Amino acid sequence: MKKLLYTFLVSLFGGFLALFMHNFYYDHSNNIITEEKDNMVNISFNPLSNSNLSVENDFVSAAEKTIHSVVHVKNTSISGGNSSLWDYFNNSGGKTRVGMGSGVIISEDGYIITNNHVIENASTIEITTNNNKTYNAELLGSDEVSDIAVLKIVGDESFPYIRFADSDQTKIGEWVLAVGNPFNLTSTVTAGIISAKSRDLNDFDSKNQSFIQTDAAVNSGNSGGALVNTNGDLIGINTAITSGTGGFVGYSFAVPSNVARKIFEDIIEFGNVQKGLLGVTGFGLNSKSANELNIDLTEGFFVNDTEAEMGAERAGIIKGDVIISLDNIKIEKFSDLSGYLSTKRPGDKISVGIIRDNKNIKLRVTLEKNNNVSFLGMQLKNMTKTELESYKITHGLKISNLRNSSLFRMGVKPGYALTEINNNEIKKTEDLSNYNSNTKINQMIFVSPNGEKERLIFE
Residues serving a catalytic function are 117, 147, 223
Measure the CA–CA gap between 60 and 397, rounded to whole angstroms. Answer: 55
Mapped onto helix, strand or coil, the DSSP state of residue 223 is: coil
Q: 63: buried, middle or exposed (CB in 10 Å: 19+, 13-18, 0-12)? A: middle
Q: 186: buried, middle or exposed (CB in 10 Å: 19+, 13-18, 0-12)? A: middle
Measured from the Cβ of residue 155, the count of other Cβ atoms closer than 10 Å reads 11
Closest CA to 281 of 315, 339, 316, 323: 323
Closest CA to 403 of 423, 425, 378, 386: 378
What letters, b where the CB count within 10 A reaches 16 and e where it falls short, cover 244-262? eeeebeebbbbbbbbbbbb
Measure the CA–CA gap between 253 and 105, rounded to whole angstroms. Answer: 20
Measure the CA–CA gap between 209 and 170, rounded to whole angstroms. Answer: 17
Residue-level length of the chain: 459
Closest CA to 157 of 107, 211, 101: 107
